[in-house]
Structure 1
Amino acid sequence: VRRMGGGFGGKETQAAQWACLAAVFATRLNRPVKMRLDRQDDMVLTGKRHDFLNRFKIGFDDEGRIQGADIELASFCGYSADLSDSITDRAMFHVDNAYNLHDCRVIGHRCRTNTVSNTAFRGFGGPQGMILAECMLDDIARKVGKDPLDVRKLNYYKEGEQTHYGQPIEDFYLPELIETLENNCDYRKRREDIAAFNKTSPWKKRGLALTPVRFGISFTTTFLNQAGALVHIYTDGSIHLNHGGTEMGQGLYTKVAQVVANEFAVDVDMVRVSATTTDKVPNTSATAASSGTDLNGKAAQNACITLKKRLVDFAVDYFKVAGDAVRFENNHIVVTGDDGQEDWVSFAEFVNLAYVNRVSLSTTGFYKTPEIHYDPKAERGKPFLYYAFGATCAEVEIDTLTGEYKILRADILHDVGNSLNPAIDIGQVEGAFVQGTGWLTSEELLWDNQGRLSSASAATYKIPTSVDIPEVFNVELFDRPAAADTIYHSKAVGEPPLMHGIAVFCALRDAVASVSDYKVSPQLDTPATPERILNAVMACQAAE
């Protein structure tokens, strides 16, 4: 795969039909065939993210503490199953988000529909489940007359508790992360200012929401959690790297190259990454589930460790020193003699020396995620190695006469563990937030009376543009190494930040609820288009 372009899930399985068509023509014509859909055909013929119909009954005490919940999720799958089973499972895993639902029942329905078969999309069902949790907490807060953030704090998981699927809660520092964001973004003062603004503004209303993200990392299909890598060192000191992960603009090649460069303590421009191909690394898992760096970085590191041991063993024998007297540093091998004198040999010179002495400079690496397991019959297990955390505070303003809105400000604090590349990670968070906001506010699928998709172009399917980005947009990374044995104790960053967009949706509901002085929890379906916001405003006004 040389040039994939964007991924976002849609190419995980649904590139197959076009590959098959190209293969038929290639076979018949006995020549290479390239097939490219135009944008409108692509939007009509390929699957979308799954729509969900979510329903819940929830019990809580007078303070807003959850006592139990009965939740049903119905995913609209299309005419065939595709990945719908796993997507619905992940939605069911994430209906609790950061909160202990205590006695709960979660049912997931897979609904066959007469549309194209829906497929993977960034978050893979997690966002559709997680938004339910945040809507439930907002509804509880309005019912008991408290600030939604305070109700959220009452219901956070505590260390040692278990999820509804039996996974222990470990290394749960999300409350600390949220408190940091609450203080940094001045949440309490802004809540007071918004209340004052709404009392004096007859038509414009503002809303505020601070919502958490707790997203499980690993493939829920256990056998997919494996990866391989191939590493060659050449006599000029350059390093060739191939692994099973595909680059789709997320910076995977850069991160894994950084891992290899760090292991040998050489400059990253000494590492060359070749195109992903199964004739070099076979039986690869999809670059999905936010696990690309976790899996392939570890596999590459495993290969590097094998090569380093060979090189150190050679150095010990050649220079007649102990193993701890050899180290890799700043593009050199440093050998410390018995007299304490350091001999610095350039990496290229040392590698050439090893080659002359017939040391193998090539090896494969392999990694499989430890500890994870899940029994679908018992509905218990540990499907995730760890959780990625984050929180967003979003402020919006709506026009109650038209339903139009704008995002005034978003403050995001996101947990990527010990970041391998902060520039890439911040870019991922920023892009995911905008994409998640589009999912929940403007991206609407519409069909005509003949069942044809009418929102099949950028003119009718409204993805976010630069004007939809918050006027004030602050993104920071939470500096806390992962407790799990991940690559350099980093955390995944591909999918989790998409769910920061939920804060915008909750802020819009908050603004609508202000019309009834927060006594009514508005019915607002996604996407929250201006039409839906206006309808929700009128319903709140009628209920006063």
Structure 2
Amino acid sequence: MTEQQSMALTGPSQHRTGQNAKHDSAEKHVTGQARYIDDVSEPKSCLHVAVGGSKFAHARLKSINLDKVRTATGVRGVITAQDVPGEIDIGPVFPGDPVLVESICEYIGQPIFAVAATSHELAHRALEQAEIEYDVLEPTLTVAKAMADEFFVRPPHVQQRGDAKQAIAQSPNQLKGQQYVKGQEHFYLEGQVCSVSPTEDNGMWVLTSSQHPTEVQKLVAEVLDLTMNKVQVEVRRMGGGFGGKETQAAPLACIAALLARKTGQTVKYRMSRRDDMVMTGKRHDFSNQYHVGFDDLGILQGAEITVAGKCGNSPDLSDAIVDRAMFHSDNAYYLNAARVTGLRCKTHTVSNTAFRGFGGPQGMMIAEQIMDDIARHVGEDPLTIRKRNLYGVRHDHITDASGAIDPRTETHYGQTIEQAILPKLIAELEQTSEYWQRRQEITEFNQQNQIFKRGLALTPVKFGISFTVQFLNQAGALVHIYTDGSVHLNHGGTEMGQGLYIKVAQVVAEAFQIDLERIQVSAARTDKVPNTSPTAASSGSDLNGMAAKDACERIKVELVKFACEHYQVDPEHVKFHDNHIIAGEQRVPFAEFVELAYMNRVPLSSTGYYKTPKIHYDRATGQGRPFYYYAHGAAVSEVIVDTLTGEYKVTRVDILQDVGRSLNPAIDIGQIEGGFIQGMGWLTTEDLVWDDQGQLRSDSPATYKIPAIGDTPLDFRVNLLEHSPNSEATVYRSKAVGEPPLMLGISVWSALRDAVSSLSEYRISPELNTPATPEAVLNAIYSLDPELNPEKGATRS
């Protein structure tokens, strides 16, 4: 290939790591060219699935008669649990998730039978012909009842440092508090969907919208009683995932595969929006409690915290989710002597699952309430109390056992905070957001206005990065270089809109010092990269980027060796630079050199592998290092509240996030903006409503409100912390950015509490469970001062 041809291939831009590059599918998204599973052409014989679910939250099946279903118009196949040739239970970690119910139903909508018909509509009509009799049993529907009955999906777990009870008892001040944090519907744009086709070797080809292709492969193989090499799974892209497609995409693929086996035809299972909301899990509700002791400066001396997750009917991922809530119940603060207890409450509702933050946000909520409550108790600004309690902030009057000033850097689970970034980050954000000037203005405004009250809050985030299950912290990649100098990249990560593909492509571009346009990333496929971990835990770029880099380095070893032999130079004189190979005095275009290497039988393909170092955790002792590093950030949110109606508006948000040496600043800022809005929605507008029978009532866009453009802060400022490379050897010293920004939304909730607290001259910290809808805010106002309630005859001019 000539130099001119090489430049024509690459174009003028480079877009290696650290540079802005647009999402690889951005133009496809906005022009409609991006292909999702619903866009893939269906064979004429394709069948469509509908699932018949339980009508009761807790019941025993007495009888099932599906004769009329089987003879309904368009029906080509019907299956029940008796039609499963392999494993019935498809629980992702622990048992408890039958692909189809055998006898006991444990939530409304739990699949009992499935139908394959010639159209989506006919399949759903056929469901109405089922004749099922139940023995209705008493359900457990609330966390409170599950806690009272000690009804758990997994045993409780405790993390402890020191004697918390004694430390609290000896403290000058004590406080107790509680909160209820509701869950959240994933509400991805593309719902749960898959397409399964039988192959000629008795296997299955699966197209799925899943964050975990390998789990889909494994479970489909198990229910069909096949070896995994008979099942191939492909994920090109998802229209959003947020954790909802980590485990809960697999049941669809298993049901579709069973029907594909029975009918011998391609089977597509696309959930309607209502079915998706009713039949798949959500973010866990959490009921949190605390008892803390602190000195007169508001510095914690001891803490007892309980976090109780509403897990639903089965374990799913709840054990690890409640663990992460426990890990993050300190958020950014040194708890001192501490005892943290995590409960996994079983309820007869759909099994809750992963959601962006994976329990961390719910744990952080109790830490932030503690800071607010202490501030009101001692009469200080909440930011002052937060800063005094930060990890790494030393206090001259606080010493360790040796008499030295206590560095206050060890978490309650034994991990040392090695990078104390937050004091610096918060100081910078205080200045750029004009926090103290605005605080003064807001206090004066609230004194002069009886109806409208403004609130302000700065809340930090310290979020641990790694899967807390150690074996998941590994990844593989596959890199090919073709003789025209173009590169093909495949890795185990999945693309759900977050920009993982473009980031890993930038890593490859950086490794070879070639333009990004030379690199093509293909769909995640289990026959290219096996045994993949889910794309979750904010680890996608860390794991897959390092695996891809490893594959590149393996190829480069052979290319450098060849260059040394061919050009008679030493290895230190061979460099990859600006789409060229420099070997001594020779400067050869990359494509020309690659073709020369091929002609000399040099390998141009390699797999890569990476496993996260240093991490470990001992559940028996509740101690270890579960995280490779921490991602940090902080947000300042300002709100204005109408105290007559509880309605409010977020007027300004300032965010400063530490992403290390960013792989792609533009993508990272987009993730921060989106994560914040999603976190704000979780805590303010997104209200999951269940009736007393266990039926979800907020089951459509008409009854469940995600944030809209009108909810976006009027003034929204996002910045990346500069000159802060990761101290750990991550991919080009970057830091994760997928999940941490969601927790910045806690600042909105805290600002709402601040506005309500102004009604008491900031002496009382109001109770405000989430979501903090206008109704909840109004109730908080009334609870703070019942005389404001118009039902009591109160009037305000």
TM-score normalised over the length of structure 1: 0.98
Counterpart of 2:737 in structure 1 is 493
Residue 433 of structure 1 corresponds to 676
Give the distance between the partners of 2:344 and 2:771, measured in 1 at CA. 21
Task: Provide structure 1 residue ranges, at least 5 long, that are not aligned to the other structure.
Answer: 337-341
- Whichever residue aligns with residue 268 of structure 2, its letter is K
| 2:462 alignment counterpart | 214
Instruction: Give the number of equivalent residue pairs.
Output: 539
- Contact (CA 8 Å) 2:237, 2:494: kept in 1 or not? no
Q: Read off the aligned partner of 1:176 and give its amino acid letter.
A: K
Query: Deviation at 1:25?
Result: 1.3
Is structure 2 residue 752 aligned with structure 1 residue 518? no
1:414 to 657, 661, 671: 657
Instruction: Tell me by how many angstroms 1:173 deviates.
Output: 1.3
Which residue number corresponds to residue 479 of structure 2? 231
**How far is 1:448 from its partner?**
2.8
1:444 to 687, 702, 711: 687
Asked if the contact 1:226/1:368 (under 8 Å) is kept, the reply is: yes
2:57 aligned partner: none
Residues 246-257 of structure 1: pairs in structure 2 closer than 5 A: 246-257=494-505
Report the equivalent of 1:135: 369
Among residues 531, 541, 545, which one is paired with 1:297 in the alignment?
545
Pairing 1:97-136 to 2, within 5 Å after superposition? 97-136=331-370
Q: Distance in 2 between matches of 1:421 and 1:431?
A: 16
Native 8 Å contact 2:479 2:488 kept in 1: yes
Give the match's secondary structure for 2:749: helix
From 710, 715, 729, the counterpart of 1:472: 715
Following the alignment from structure 1 to structure 2, what is the Cα–Cα distance between the partners of residues 449 and 252?
Answer: 42
Distance 1:161 1:290 in 2: 23
Partner SS, residue 35 of structure 1: strand
Does the alignment pair 1:68 with 2:68? no
Look up the equivalent residue of 2:335 and give its one-letter code: L
CA contact (8 A) 2:237 2:497 kept: no
Displacement of 1:449 after TM fit?
Answer: 4.1
Identity of aligned residues (%): 63
Mapped to 1, the partners of 2:598 and 2:694 lie a distance apart of 66
Matched position secondary structure for 1:534: helix
What is the deviation of 1:299?
0.4
In structure 1, give the amino acid aligned to 2:444.
Answer: A
1:339 maps to what in 2?
A: none
Q: Deviations over 1:102-161 (max 9, x none)?
A: 011100111000110000000000000001101100000000000111111111111562
Measured after TM superposition, the shift of residue 32 of structure 1 is: 1.5
Q: Which residue of 2 aligns with 1:352?
A: 595
- d(CA) in 1 for partners of 2:580 and 2:387? 52
**Matched position secondary structure for 2:757:** helix
Q: Could you tell me which amino acid in structure 2 is paired with residue 118 of structure 1?
A: N
Normalised by the length of structure 2, the TM-score is: 0.67
The answer to whether the 8 Å contact 1:440/1:527 transfers is yes
* Matched residue type, 1:499: M
Structure 2 Cα separation of the partners of residues 326 and 447 of structure 1 = 66
Whole-angstrom distance in 2 between the partners of 1:106 and 1:209: 26
Aligned equivalents of 2:761 and 2:786: distance in 1? 13
Find the residue that maps to 2:268 and give its secondary structure.
Answer: coil
Structure 2 Cα separation of the partners of residues 301 and 231 of structure 1: 9
* Distance apart, 1:171 and its partner CA: 1.1
Residue 26 in 1 paired to residue 270 in 2?
A: no
State yes or no: 1:274 paired with 2:522. yes
CA deviation map 1:191-241 (0-9, x unaligned):
000000000101000000001000000000001000001111110001111
Give runs of ≥4 in structure 1 deviating > 2 Å.
448-451
State yes or no: 1:314 paired with 2:553: no
Kept in 2, the 8 Å contact 1:208–1:394? The answer is yes
- 2:414 maps to 166
Tell me how far apart the structure 2 counterparts of residues 385 and 137 of structure 1 sit (CA, whole Å): 27
Q: Which residue of 2 aligns with 1:54?
A: 288
1:543 CA drift (Å): 8.6
- Following the alignment from structure 1 to structure 2, what is the Cα–Cα distance between the partners of residues 266 and 192? 53
- 2:712 partner letter: I
- Tell me if 1:92 matches 2:326: yes
Q: Which residue of 2 aligns with 1:144?
A: 378
Structure-2 residue corresponding to 1:328: 576
**Is 1:176 aligned to 2:424, yes or no?**
yes
**Runs of 5+ consecutive residues of structure 2 not aligned to the other structure:** 1-234, 393-406, 789-797
Q: 2:17 maps to what in 1?
A: none
Instruction: Say if 2:334 and 2:408, in contact at 8 Å, map to a contact too.
Output: no
2:274 corresponds to which letter in structure 1? Answer: Q
SS in 1 for 2:305: strand
Q: Does 1:542 align with 2:786?
A: yes
